[in-house]
Structure 1
Amino acid sequence: MSKHAASGRRRASAPVTPARQRNSTSSGRRRAETKTISVGGAAQKVAITAATSGLILTAALPTTAAAGDPAVQSEPVVATSTPVQADPNANVGFARAGLSSAFDPDAKLASVTVAAGSTVVPAAAKGTLSTPLDVALIETSGFGHRVSPITGEAGEMHNGQDFAATCGTAVNAAASGTVVFAGWHPYGGGNRVVIDHGNGVETTYNHLSSAAVTVGTEIKRGHLVGASGTTGASTGCHLHFEVVVNGEVVDPRDWL
């Protein structure tokens, strides 16, 4: 074959794939997808930058769909409310709950004396007896040994608690019970009233100017017993108040 013949042939070349035309819109979308912002302050800055550069900005919204699923789009949730109507003839009322105390001092008095008798500790007995005077209690001579205001001798045993009270001041029962004595006390108590509260507990009210109860009378806590005075072995108007448990005098202050 001649040189001319050989040169007249063209060498076969590989097929050329035509260059794919770039779509400015597609490019813009891809670029926009890389600019997804979900943060409030940063989103505003990126939105301004994207607007000036001709980019399309998409904002990411919260969704319950799987992350990265382009087929699922979140939709805005619209809150709806249904009006509630009541029967215009319905009777609606409001009642304020009342508060009450179940504390019963007479029941407590009975419980502590039944359980412990004369060995009741002050912490358990405290508050089981009410004060015998309506006026403020002013203690003058307390329970225990003292110098006798009558004879001046030391070591006298004072069996109760004295409270200052002008003559004629109302004296009340320290607890519910039965009057077992109302009369003259020959051992210095003057006009005296004794109330039995049960379970071995008694209270006595001494030096009264007058008594308002008689033996056998059933009385309630706070009932008028008499009026304070200065009868018997007394140096002035006052109330001598005693608490007796199973025949033994105890300090009244542990029970009031």
Structure 2
Amino acid sequence: MARQAADNAAAPSSPVCTEINAFPAPVSTCPDNPLPRREARTGTVAPVVSLRPRDAQRTERRRRAASTRRDVSFAGLSQKVAIAAAASGMVLTVALPTTAAVVPAEAQTVAAAAEQEELQPVQAAAGADVSFDRAALHSTFDPDAKLAEIVSASGGDIVTAEAKGSLSAPLDRMVMSSAFGTRISPITGAGELHTGQDMSEACGTSVLAAAAGTVTFAGWHAYGGGNRVVIKHANGLETTYNHLSAMDVAVGQIVERGDAIARVGSTGASTGCHLHFEVLVDGKNVDPLGWL
């Protein structure tokens, strides 16, 4: 009984209320509920702290914020360095690794020596026969083959550019006078179709076959040609040689390109020594200059 009375005397019978002088206003510590035994014994009340509930994503947000601040910091630092370098005239050089093979100095020297040796001029003996022909590209123009090819589809529609050069010159020296086409006749003074190409040359000069063929006419031409030779070539192509002073071939004779067949004259409807040369395709006269 005595011990119980002592405990009752030591413990206060009602909660202890104290007043804390705090700014801006005093704070009362009188709780609505009875104080714990220790606080009631000492008379000191711990301030009440309201704890926020734990956020499960708080750690992740803190980590992201720290990472963002670090990136921004690095970017800002590099920007400041670039601005400072531009202001001071500095040149920033970035060295990047390379995977290219490194050629040793000795190999470079050997390659340079080989290149220099290749550049040395080629020398030959004074009497050496030096030729620059390339056998793989060497070719010989065959006018007879070309002539046979372009007249294989004869019909008067042969393109001049294709026929050019397929016939050889009927004279060693050609001096063109009256051309093929419409002209004023030097004999009658009237307009006429000049059916060939006139070439001025001295009488007696050799006339040559323009291509290989067979002589189909050698005689007098009743329509102004005088002494006339006609050679038939392949596929309807013919050449005629007019105003001749002499004829050195006969009908049926086979001649080769460049053979002498007659001599220049001034027979028939002629005003002087010259050769009247004609080209016919299937009996139609065409401009000889398109074939020579």
- TM-score category of the 2 structures, normalised to the smaller one: 0.5 to 0.7
The alignment partner of 1:221 has SS state of: coil
Q: Does 1:101 align with 2:143?
A: no
User: What whole-Å deviation, never above 9, does each CA across 1:13-66 have from its counterpart, x for those lacking one?
Assistant: xxxxxxxxxxxxxxxxxxxxxxxxxxxxxxxxxxxxxxxxxxxxxxxxx998xx
1:134 match? 172
**Given that residues 127 and 255 in structure 1 are in contact (C-alpha distance below 8 angstroms), is that contact kept between their aligned partners in structure 2?**
yes
2:258 match? 222
Greater helix fraction, Structure 1 or Structure 2: 2
- Structure 2: how far apart are the matches of 1:63 and 1:141? 75
2:189 match? 152
2:216 to 168, 180, 183: 180
Q: How many correspondences in the alignment?
A: 165
1:194 match? 230
Partner AA of 2:215 in structure 1: V
Cα drift, residue 95 of structure 1: 10
Cα drift, residue 225 of structure 1: 1.0
- Structure 1: how far apart are the matches of 2:291 and 2:200? 19
User: What whole-Å deviation, never above 9, does each CA across 1:70-93 have from its counterpart, x for those lacking one?
Assistant: xxxxxxxxxxxxxxxxxxxxxxxx
Partner AA of 2:282 in structure 1: N
Partner AA of 1:129 in structure 2: L
**Given that residues 154 and 281 in structure 2 are in contact (C-alpha distance below 8 angstroms), is that contact kept between their aligned partners in structure 1?**
no
Q: Which runs of 5+ in 1 are unaligned?
A: 1-61, 65-93
- Structure 1: how far apart are the matches of 2:249 and 2:277? 17
Cα drift, residue 163 of structure 1: 0.3
Aligned Cα RMSD in Å? 2.2
Partner AA of 1:118 in structure 2: G
Partner AA of 2:224 in structure 1: G
1:112 to 147, 150, 162: 150
TM-score (norm 1): 0.61
Q: Which runs of 5+ in 2 are unaligned?
A: 1-101, 105-128
Matches within 5 A, 1:237-248: 237-248=273-284
Partner AA of 1:239 in structure 2: L
2:162 match? 124
The alignment partner of 2:289 has SS state of: helix
**Given that residues 179 and 198 in structure 2 are in contact (C-alpha distance below 8 angstroms), is that contact kept between their aligned partners in structure 1?**
yes
